[in-house]
Structure 1
Amino acid sequence: MLFHDIFAHHPKERIAIIDQDRSVTYGEFQDLVERWAAYFEALGVKKGDRVGLVSKNCLEFVVTYFAVIKAGGVIVPINFQLVPREIAYIVKDTAMKLLVVKEKLPLEEPLQELSASPLKQLTFDELLHAPDREFVPVSLTEHDPSTIIYTSGTTGKPKGAMLSHGNLYANARDFMESIPLTADDTALCVLPMYHCFAWTVCVAGPLLRGGRIIIQAVYQFKAAMRLVKQYGVTMFTGVPAVYRLLHESRDLDSVDSVRYFISGGAPLGLDLARSFALKFGRPVLEGYGLSEASPVVSVNLPHKVKAGSIGPTIAHVEAKIINAHGEEIPHFERGELLVKGPNVMLGYLNLPEATAKAIEKDGWLHTGDVGYMDEDGFIFLVDRVKDMIISSGENVYPREIEEVVSAYPGVEECSVIGIPDALRGQSICLYVVSREGETIDKKALRQYLIGRIAPYKVPREYFLVESLPKTALGKVRKNVLRDETVDILSKNKFAGRAL
């Protein structure tokens, strides 16, 4: 099935999307998509042309996405928080034909600096007032590219993961087998739609099943809770920070209607997972994915949850754990997670070597994550391969330390990184954000860690900060922390040291 056809068979009178004071039925939504697709054709968008999209969550975002791919184009959703220089990089990398925006962006200068061609920008207002034209169907297959998702860039320059119509359709279909939504369900989309996690879980999945989507332009906790209560939301999707706020909230009645709490984007944490389930009587179904896998790989099941796990793989997706020699290893042994299935990307745009490195000839995708699998097929992640620290010859996984630190009184969140150390190879550094009104003593924290983790895992450098640099989905940008730490310690040898 072509991705833009996933909602074509639903009753036309059923409500599809609610965006503030606006709502559209499935019939109205289909008509809008076809009308805008015809206008994109009139503007010269042809099969394979890349069309950018910069916007906060809104009805127009969803219509544009489907209209572009229906016209044969390849949609390139872009993080609206990026500065013009960063957007210009994506424009040039994709040889973008057109950029759809709410308001036109100042891109002329950064595009000139990159020696990129001028770019036509089209606003939502122009699309809303576009004249009616006849849509001419385009010959497409499930193997044709439909979208390019740029990685968050936690390390190096962002890469464009090319996803096909088949990738996106299969991922939405297979995720819905694990989380069995029906036409009677209502999903709230508070996460940014430019990210494929929100797109697949909050938009594509519910539309495939004929459900109803409630849109929040930008996440705001209290407003989100009001929407849950107002519309009887049955599937709520968030990142760990959202669930932490919900766990601390006293208004338990606001989420009575929710059947499924879905979490992704970053590790939920054992303590939060267990205490949330006790408080609300329903577990958070933690899942896992990456842009290169469209993105969902696995998720805990409503009838079977293992705290600390990212669940078993969704239907039609395989997983295995390999050692440093590329050999598959037994249950409970740690190694790199590889996945295979109809969700695996076509490849990275303009990067054949990176594609060959990421995807084996037999279709297995390297995730870059370290973990293990139990006898039931549930996957437990330990850390990123790139984040693993080698200190005094010992392998140290930051997430192990972070789990222990997170349980210390007054800790809101934390992050562990490794920096070059002439004596040990790498030195372990800990960044901690305290809860509001709490004070953390670095010496006391270090003493707390001694005896709870092996001596070689105890951090040597401690930094108390107000916040951690993150991607839009809440992943800590450890590359930024590493650069800042090296800079600080090079200026002051003893800066931040606990003892």
Structure 2
Amino acid sequence: MRAFDSAKAQSTIFDALIQSARKHGLKKPILEDQERSPLTYLDLIRAAFALGRKIAAFTARGERVGVMLPSSSGGVVTFFALHAFGRIPTMLNFTAGIRNLKAACELAGVKTVLTSHRFVEQGKLHDLIDALETMTSVVYLEDVRKTVGLSDKLFAAAAGALPKSFRTAVKPSDPGVILFTSGSFGAPRGVVLSHSNLVANCKQIAQHIPLDPAWVFFNPLPIFHCFGLTGGALLPIFEGMKAFQYPSPLHIKQIPPLVKDTRANVLFATDTFINQYARSAERDELSGLTFVVCGAEKVRDETHNLITERFGPIPLLEGYGATEASPVIAVNTPTDNRRGTVGGLLPGVEARLEPVEGIPGGGKLLVRGPNIMAGYLRADGGIDPPEGGWHDTGDVVSLGDDDWIRILGRVKRFAKVGGEMVSLTAAEDLAVAVWPDGRHAVIALPDPKKGERIVLVTDRRDAEAAALLAHAQQIGAPEIAVPRKIIKVPEIPVLGTGKTDYVALQRIVDAEMQRGG
């Protein structure tokens, strides 16, 4: 474990913003979105006080306030506005479906949800709003802004001059945000991250990767997800870099020209999205990037090669994290970027491996450090902290002598076939190697003879088991890891974060098997 000065992280989120403004200059442009109206640190602080004062009129100190907004200047201002007055942003995943969204609000005790008319119209989210209005008060930011008068502007101007005197004092150990896990494998859980968790993770990343305040970060990932919030918004703002927010990673044709136009140095993406951007982009649209940070899913060799061939030696830095870790646990660096790994542990992160029966060469990863969550939300509103400060990631990894991590799979992503442990992730890798242009996912089903059987779901219409078997034999992979059953679908279901939605995938496979597939 590399040394990390945890005292650096003993700050609240709003105080970290104030400190960054003083360090880098109040007049420095720090936040922008597709409206192309950059905000300086001073603009951001004033806007947070003006909006926050209005929100404070209909919420209580310490209240968990729902935020259902895209990655945008408005979304980031709202986040800081809540902090200016001691409210707790509770980030709602609008792609999770009505049932999960209502469950999240109920679990967190959300009484008020902040959103915008424009966002609801453009995202066609009226059904979600109807559902939320049965249990919360839905407030539109456009309506709130219309009520901002001269007294509010004078207050914001005074607060901008003396922000520490005007902001509501809270402790670094207090809840800084409530997020919900992606739900890749089941119902989302409410994760409480403290102020110091989020500030620490930004400091850890900055110690691990040298960052230049002149850089522009381009973030199309949602701020309801920790990768988009911490990496795409808080990190650049706290470290003096402009954070450009874009509302959806799905706009494949619009994003590359905007990356060029904004002179972005760092792009946040997943393997799926950067692959699509690379195929859509003109040669000069991504070539100005210093590096790309990829998380949420494995980066394929094909994607590394595609970027290099089309845009030059731009490193794709694969990282690894969990919502419970604020989120970054490990990441590759521009000067030490090892394909097939998720990089080195961040400074201050302790790791230990617990053996998993039938899986040699690795173990289940547990992590501890200043970025590890305060705990999971309980139904009674309380918080269950991680035992001894250790978070069980549920991932099986190998850990090198220099703390570099290679992911072997999730504990849940292993199947016992004929008494042998088979990695479903490795089975997916076989399909990726044979059909690199397709999207593939593997799940396990009960089998009366072998214990479990593995099934490949793919969007490749020509996929056949024989090709998988031939490739496995060629590379010396065990034949037991080759899916014999293949289900072809128009597209693999994904979550709003870009991860495969294994819950939806299981439903597809179950329906296919019931039809006698």
- TM-score w.r.t. the length of structure 2 is 0.86
Cα distance in 1 for partners of 2:396, 2:201 equals 23
The residue aligned with 1:481 is 505
Greater shift, 161-170 or 465-474, is seen at 465-474
Is 1:287 paired with 2:319? Answer: yes
The verdict on how the C-alpha distance between 1:275 and 1:111 changes in structure 2, with shifts beyond 3 A counting, is closer
The verdict on how the C-alpha distance between 1:229 and 1:429 changes in structure 2, with shifts beyond 3 A counting, is same
- Give the counterpart of 1:391 among 417, 421, 432: 417
The residue aligned with 1:57 is 71
- Give the counterpart of 1:359 among 383, 386, 396: 386
Q: What is the percent sequence identity of the aligned residues? A: 25
- Give the counterpart of 1:232 among 243, 247, 263: 263
Is 1:21 paired with 2:36? Answer: yes
Task: Tell me by how many angstroms 1:406 deviates.
Answer: 0.8
Greater shift, 157-166 or 90-99, is seen at 90-99
Cα distance in 1 for partners of 2:211, 2:387 equals 34
The residue aligned with 2:407 is 381
Cα distance in 1 for partners of 2:67, 2:426 equals 38
The verdict on how the C-alpha distance between 1:423 and 1:354 changes in structure 2, with shifts beyond 3 A counting, is farther
Q: Deviations over 1:24-57 (max 9, x none)?
A: 11111110011122222222321x2110011222
Q: Greater RCO between the two (CA within 8 Å, min separation 6)?
A: 2
Cα distance in 2 for partners of 1:66, 1:405 equals 44
The verdict on how the C-alpha distance between 1:35 and 1:235 changes in structure 2, with shifts beyond 3 A counting, is same
Cα distance in 1 for partners of 2:382, 2:466 equals 44
Is 1:68 paired with 2:101? Answer: no
Contact 1:45–1:71 under 8 Å retained in 2: no
Task: Tell me by how many angstroms 1:138 deviates.
Answer: 2.1
Cα distance in 2 for partners of 1:469, 1:316 equals 36
Cα distance in 2 for partners of 1:81, 1:421 equals 33
Cα distance in 2 for partners of 1:355, 1:7 equals 27
The residue aligned with 2:6 is none
Is 1:491 paired with 2:515? Answer: yes
Cα distance in 2 for partners of 1:353, 1:215 equals 32
Task: Tell me by how many angstroms 1:396 deviates.
Answer: 0.5
Greater shift, 241-250 or 293-302, is seen at 241-250
Counterpart of 2:16 in structure 1: which amino acid?
A: I
Other structure's SS at 1:288 match = strand
Cα distance in 1 for partners of 2:236, 2:493 equals 32
Task: Tell me by how many angstroms 1:446 deviates.
Answer: 4.0
Cα distance in 2 for partners of 1:253, 1:299 equals 27
Contact 2:317–2:337 under 8 Å retained in 1: yes
Is 1:128 paired with 2:145? Answer: yes
Task: Tell me by how many angstroms 1:124 deviates.
Answer: 1.4
Bigger helix fraction: 2
Cα distance in 2 for partners of 1:109, 1:226 equals 36
Other structure's SS at 1:428 match = strand
Other structure's SS at 1:252 match = coil
The verdict on how the C-alpha distance between 1:432 and 1:119 changes in structure 2, with shifts beyond 3 A counting, is closer
Cα distance in 2 for partners of 1:440, 1:241 equals 19
- Give the counterpart of 2:216 among 165, 181, 186: 186
Contact 2:317–2:334 under 8 Å retained in 1: yes
Q: How many residues get paired?
A: 478
The residue aligned with 1:3 is 13
Segments of 5+ residues of structure 1 without an aligned counterpart are none
- Give the counterpart of 1:173 among 203, 210, 221: 203
The verdict on how the C-alpha distance between 1:14 and 1:355 changes in structure 2, with shifts beyond 3 A counting, is closer
Alignment of 1:127-166 (within 5 A): 127-129=144-146, 130-131=148-149, 132-133=151-152, 134=155, 136-166=166-196
The residue aligned with 1:212 is 242
Alignment of 1:47-126 (within 5 A): 48-103=62-117, 110=131, 118-126=135-143
Other structure's SS at 1:65 match = helix
Cα distance in 1 for partners of 2:425, 2:233 equals 31
Other structure's SS at 2:223 match = coil
The verdict on how the C-alpha distance between 1:351 and 1:42 changes in structure 2, with shifts beyond 3 A counting, is closer
The verdict on how the C-alpha distance between 1:97 and 1:410 changes in structure 2, with shifts beyond 3 A counting, is closer
The verdict on how the C-alpha distance between 1:410 and 1:190 changes in structure 2, with shifts beyond 3 A counting, is closer
Is 1:400 paired with 2:426? Answer: yes
- TM-score w.r.t. the length of structure 1 is 0.89
Cα distance in 1 for partners of 2:469, 2:285 equals 39
The residue aligned with 2:47 is 32
Contact 2:326–2:371 under 8 Å retained in 1: yes
Is 1:463 paired with 2:487? Answer: yes
